[in-house]
Amino acid sequence: MEFELIERIRAHCSLGRADVLLGIGDDAALLAPPAGHELAASTDTLVDGVHFPQGAAPRDIGWKSLAVNLSDLAAMGARPAWALLNLTLPQADADFVDQFAAGFAELAGQHHLALVGGDTTSGPLAVGVTVLGFVPAGRALRRNGARVGDGVFVTGTLGDAVAGLYCTQARGGAWAQLGDSQRLALLERMRRPTPRVAAGIALRDQASACIDVSDGLLADLGHIARCSGVGIEIDAPLLPASPALLDACDEATRIALQASGGDDYELAFCASPAHEATILRDLARSGCGATRIGRVTAGEGVRLLDAQRGEIVLARTGWEHFA
């Protein structure tokens, strides 16, 4: 049955690339990176009930398992090429595999990404994906280049994904009162995040540091601050919010969700003010836009400021698996 499941996955994810010399079906794939490029590699594991709600639609799980990995490549300015998939299932469920693979393949096709191998095994539902992509030599975005005086920016909007999660839980109040269109918009951001691959590529040679927002804006910017040896100030009133989120909660709740909720998979990055006009133009063309939300300062750590420049202290700054 294991090999039947593998064949089902291959049937859905059969996109061909000339740089795949040998794909699924042997002990290892044979791949040919292009000359003059570096290979960017990232891997993530998604666990049932942790990274997606129990009972989530298999198509959405397939999409998200790839999306969160492509987001890591986006944060490096890399163009996706290949993926490996490890799928752990409680039982050999052919319908689940078909639906999962269809969601995975839908996003893979948008980025001309080939699935070149992986594994299936039995156990509690979990998905492990490894993605590989290319970036021109010496031009990868990193976390350690932020400089004092740089602006801090973020693509898209923040807070929708965690708000979508709240919509699936019995939280009552404003979440229960949302209209169908608002609720669906928030749920879509949770179920099917958009990896900002085109934005990451556009930021090559423009951004001084970059990271994707997976664990929460403050927590993830903290990695840039630490790696770069700088401080970061974020202006809470400038955090970009979708109309659905603005309608869903009060200002204090919204800011907390945007600053610490995570699962947005937007790009947070630093750049010289001299590049700001070019960046805003290029990211508008890429389809996601960007907003300047703060600045890089001397010092250390990340501070969230209100309109009067008083510090906002939150109970948590982001997600930690073993906290």
> pLDDT (tens digit, 9 = 90+) per residue, 270-297?
999 999 999 999 999 988 999 999 999 9
Give residue 323's pLDDT. Answer: 44
- Fold match between domain 2-136 and domain 151-305: no
The tens digit of pLDDT for each residue in 30-89 reads 999 999 999 999 999 999 877 888 889 999 999 999 999 999 999 999 999 999 999 999
pLDDT averaged over every residue in the chain: 91
| Share above pLDDT 90 across residues of the chain, in percent, rounded to a whole number | 75
The β-bridge partners of 24 are: 26
Q: What is the pTM of this model?
A: 0.93
Residue 210 contacts residue 261 (beta carbons within 8 Å): no
CA distance 281 to 198: 13
Domain spanning 2-136 has what CATH number?
3.30.1330.10
- Calculate the alpha carbon distances from 319 to 140, 154, 171, 239 in Å: 26, 19, 19, 19
The band of 321, judged by pLDDT with boundaries at 50, 70 and 90, is very low
Backbone angles phi, psi at 167, to 5 degrees: -65, -25
Listed range (52-56, 102-106, 252-256) with the worst mean pLDDT: 52-56
| pLDDT beyond 90 at 229 | yes
Query: Residue 11 above 60 pLDDT?
Result: yes
Nearest residue to 86 via CA among 55, 52, 27, 46: 46
pLDDT-derived band at 170, boundaries 50, 70, 90: low
Confidence of residue 97 (pLDDT cuts 50, 70, 90): very high
Which CATH topology does 151-305 take? Answer: Phosphoribosyl-aminoimidazole Synthetase; Chain A, domain 2 (3.90.650)
pLDDT confidence tier of residue 172, bands split at 50, 70 and 90 = low
Distance CA 135, CA 204 (A): 9
Per-domain residue ranges of the chain: 2-136, 151-305
